[in-house]
Structure 1
Amino acid sequence: MKIKVNWYGKEYPQDWEFFAECEEGKNIDISGKNGSESKKTAPSPKELVLQGMASCTAIDVISTLKKMRQVVESFTVECSAAQTEIHPKIFKESTLTYKLTGKNLEIEKVIHCIFLSFTKYCGVHAILEKSGCNIKPQIFINDKLIDLWDPQNKTQIKLQEWYENFGKNCSKGVALVIGTSRGIGKELVFKLEKEGYAVLPAGRTSFNFENENIFDSLFLDITKPYTTDYVKNLLIKTKIKISLLVQNAGISSTDLVQDDVNALQLTMHELRHVYDTNVFGIIESTNNLISVLEASAKVILVSSTMALRERDSFLTSVYRMTKRTINQYVRQAAMQITHEQRDVSIFALHPGSVKTDLNPSGKISVEESTTQIMEILADNFALNLKNNNGEFWIYDTEAKTWKIKF
């Protein structure tokens, strides 16, 4: 891909006018407004970026709709955005508004096409999102506002019924577990249900746990703030408060095969990719969900002893750094909770060296690890957690007990 931008060479105040060439297609005029005396004659560079995102997702949607044999009569994508106040001024939040009309459009199919583009395929959207811009969707089908995540309100209705029939009767309240597709997160869902929790699993991958006290897995990608907003708003609408929040999501590298990235081999791409999930996503989603916690709720952030100084190594560097950051966040969050006289317990924990697909040399099974996590959540441990709010708890696989690492 290659482009070229040429200056028209006009006199002030119209001296910020250019035309851009690409390898195939017509030239595009670009204009900046150089003071109050000038008149903008074409899109500005930043407007072109927004136009690029809108047209990129529009191409995705219209091409997929045609494959699904949906007849569209009209289709527009509008984009609004707000910028930061300091230079370089970048987009901090944006709304993409999709408007479609058609006589026989099937809402579920239309929503699926937009969902795929918005969450997966639109490259310009991804570029802006990686810069820290929080992009939200808004969809109108035949002039009716439709929710991207729950187009027919089916999830909201089902969740309300589930809570009325099962959730509100569970002795331990409702647990929201993020990162439940496999390993510790998945097994913990079953353990929590057995101990009296109504469980809301959430993550990037849907999973049916086939248990009346366990709701269908909710879509929540902690690197995408709008998905956390969706889950939070769903809980607000259904008047559900969370008694336990478990943050189990995490990755070790961009490379799923070889995750031992040495310190001096780290790139900005590697750092950003892992930090997006392990730090930015965890912290932002936790802060966002604080408002739907019960007064005496518990918040667990799964960490690792790889964050500790005595386990320092130049291997798996970015993972170690992210876990150290999370442990510090927990300490500072606990300080603020104490200052605000709230009754929430927040702590990080290392669940032991667990044998999983990502850690085949682990010393204990997922079963043993999750059993021990249930021990730290037991009623007789609650006072210990409150008295040591914000600490890093480590499961000692040799002594088979929980210890605090100061």
Structure 2
Amino acid sequence: MKKLEGKVAIVTGSSRGIGKEIAMKLAQEGAKVVVNYSRSPEKAEEVVNQIKQQDGEATAIQADMNQVDQIQQLVTSSVEKYGQLDILVSNAGIEHFGKLEEITPQDFERVFSVNVAGQLFVTQAAAPHLSSGGRIVLTSSVSARFAAFYHTLYAASKAAVSAMVLNLAPELGERGITINAIAPGGTATDMAQENAERYTHPALQNVSPDALLKSQIILQRLAQPEEIAAAVAFLVSDDASYITGSTLAVDGGMF
């Protein structure tokens, strides 16, 4: 018996990267998966097709996570499609680097609209459809705990997610629903590759990437997206029934 047999899951931002691997993993464990995307219908359909090729069930639904009406429609359409909702994984997010004097109100609105408000309002939309045993996993980041130059806005948004999870846990716990977050470290995705140099201290720009990994991560390598997905699959399973309000670091042991 697969661990998520008979469950229905929404995974936001799941047309690529970590979100794609989460969708694939939950489907492998037996869940019917809603693959959410914002602007890449072709990539979302590729994920759906891959799931179906592995004898899973999935559908793609468009919704922009900074538009509350689209968030609500995502949840409504998912329930109409599958008749129930058991799992929400809020993965969609955007990156930001910028010096203090360069941060604009528009930057703040853009980052917090997706990384914080988007995760809050998709939780709000999904919660009424979850029954006892429901699972919610949001996405924080190790950036909430480790400083990097010019990363204030992004890090603050991810710290807010951990605070939301902690404070929503008692409220949702009254209904038997757990809510947790994952905090991935460096992960081998296209987003990480685009921003890798920006995470590096200016004094270490000439140090080889391999040496940096060995000096900063106990396991001496980046995570693979499948490893982040495995942590999510654990948190939404019955094996994690006594875990709520927590942020799980999936970072290879950063120090």
- Summarize the alignment of residues 154-303 of structure 1 with structure 2, pairs less than 5 Å apart: 171-204=5-38, 205-206=40-41, 207-208=44-45, 209-210=48-49, 211=52, 213-238=56-81, 240-253=83-96, 260-303=97-140
Which amino acid letter does the alignment assign opposite residue 106 of structure 2? H
Question: Please, which runs of 5 or more residues in structure 1 have no aligned partner?
Answer: 1-169, 254-259, 400-406
* Higher-Rg member (1/2): 1
Partner of 2:206: none
Q: 2:178 aligned with 1:345, yes or no?
A: yes
SS in 2 for 1:312: coil
Q: 2:228 aligned with 1:373, yes or no?
A: no
Question: Please, which runs of 5 or more residues in structure 2 have no aligned partner?
Answer: 197-220
Residues 116-163 of structure 1 show CA distances to partners (whole Å, capped at 9, x for unaligned) of: xxxxxxxxxxxxxxxxxxxxxxxxxxxxxxxxxxxxxxxxxxxxxxxx
Taking the aligned partners of 2:237 and 2:70, their CA distance within structure 1 comes to 30
Do the aligned partners of 2:137 and 2:181 also contact (CA within 8 Å) in 1?
A: yes
- Give the number of the structure whose residues are more often helix, by fraction: 2
How far did 1:202 drift?
1.1
Farther off after superposition, 201-210 or 240-249: 201-210
Taking the aligned partners of 1:202 and 1:247, their CA distance within structure 2 comes to 10
Structure 2 counterpart of 1:393, from 235, 248, 253: 248
- Give the number of the structure whose residues are more often strand, by fraction: 1
Taking the aligned partners of 2:134 and 2:105, their CA distance within structure 1 comes to 37
Partner of 1:329: 164
Taking the aligned partners of 2:238 and 2:177, their CA distance within structure 1 comes to 14
Partner of 2:192: 359
RMSD: 2.1
Which amino acid letter does the alignment assign opposite residue 327 of structure 1? S
Residues 331-363 of structure 1 show CA distances to partners (whole Å, capped at 9, x for unaligned) of: 11112224xx21000011113321111112571
Partner of 1:132: none
Residues 67-118 of structure 1 show CA distances to partners (whole Å, capped at 9, x for unaligned) of: xxxxxxxxxxxxxxxxxxxxxxxxxxxxxxxxxxxxxxxxxxxxxxxxxxxx
Do the aligned partners of 2:8 and 2:82 also contact (CA within 8 Å) in 1?
A: no
Residues 158-189 of structure 1 show CA distances to partners (whole Å, capped at 9, x for unaligned) of: xxxxxxxxxxxx72411111111210101111
Taking the aligned partners of 2:108 and 2:251, their CA distance within structure 1 comes to 30
Residues 191-245 of structure 1 show CA distances to partners (whole Å, capped at 9, x for unaligned) of: 1111111111112132222115332210111111221222233245457221110
Distance 1:232 1:364, change over 3 A: closer
- The number of aligned residues is 216
